[in-house]
Amino acid sequence: PTAKKLRDARKKGQVAKSQEIVSSALILALIAVLFAFADYYMSHISALLLLPSELAYQGFQDALIDVAIAIAKEIAYLLAPIILVAAL
């Protein structure tokens, strides 16, 4: 865009607002965290996928409790980095 078009856009109020900039920065930070922690996420997701084979020998009631606890723990581990970035 030319300088005149930029000036006219500013007069009309068509400028990037700070909230848009903050939202964009937050999205970029979340994407960076996902890439930086890819191995971390894959290990926890694979733990969730392997969970049924690890608990196959238990009775249903015992396995149900262990599965619920393990799922809650793994979800907390998976969401913790994202929540920390969003809180900043």
- Asked whether the beta carbons of 74 and 48 are under 8 A apart, the reply is yes
Question: Domain coordinates of the chain in residue numbers?
Answer: 1-36, 37-88
Q: pLDDT, tens digit, for every residue of 6-50?
A: 888 878 777 666 777 888 888 898 888 889 889 988 998 998 888
Question: Residue 45: helix, strand or coil by DSSP?
Answer: helix
pLDDT at 78 over 80: yes
- Give 55's DSSP letter: S
Q: Give pLDDT, residue 73.
A: 93
